[in-house]
Amino acid sequence: MLTLEQKLTDKLETLLKQTALSITDQQKAQLVKLILLLNKWNKAYNLTSVRDPMDMLVKHILDSLVVSPYLSGERFIDVGTGPGLPGLPLAIINPHKQFVLLDSLGKRISFIRHAVRELGLHNVETVLSRVEEYRPEQLFDGVLSRAFASLKDMTDWCQHLPNQDGYFYALKGLYHQEEVEELGEKFTIQQVVQLQVPTLVGERHLVIVK
Q: What is the pLDDT of residues 144-153, one digit of tens each?
A: 999 777 999 9
146 is in an annotated binding site: yes
**In the predicted model, is pLDDT for residue 177 greater than 90?**
no
131 is in an annotated binding site: yes
Q: What is the pLDDT of residues 109-140, one digit of tens each?
A: 999 999 999 999 999 999 999 999 999 999 99
* Model pLDDT, residue 176: 86
Q: What is the pLDDT of residues 73-109, one digit of tens each?
A: 999 999 999 999 999 999 999 999 999 999 999 999 9
Side-chain half-sphere of 1: how many Cα atoms within 13 Å?
A: 2
Interatomic CA distance for residues 161 and 143, integer angstroms: 7
15 is in an annotated binding site: no
The answer to pTM > 0.95 is yes
Q: What is the CATH number of domain 4-209?
A: 3.40.50.150
79 is in an annotated binding site: no
Residue 86, preceding peptide bond in cis (omega within 30° of 0): yes
Helix, strand, coil content of the chain in percent (nearest 5): 40, 20, 35
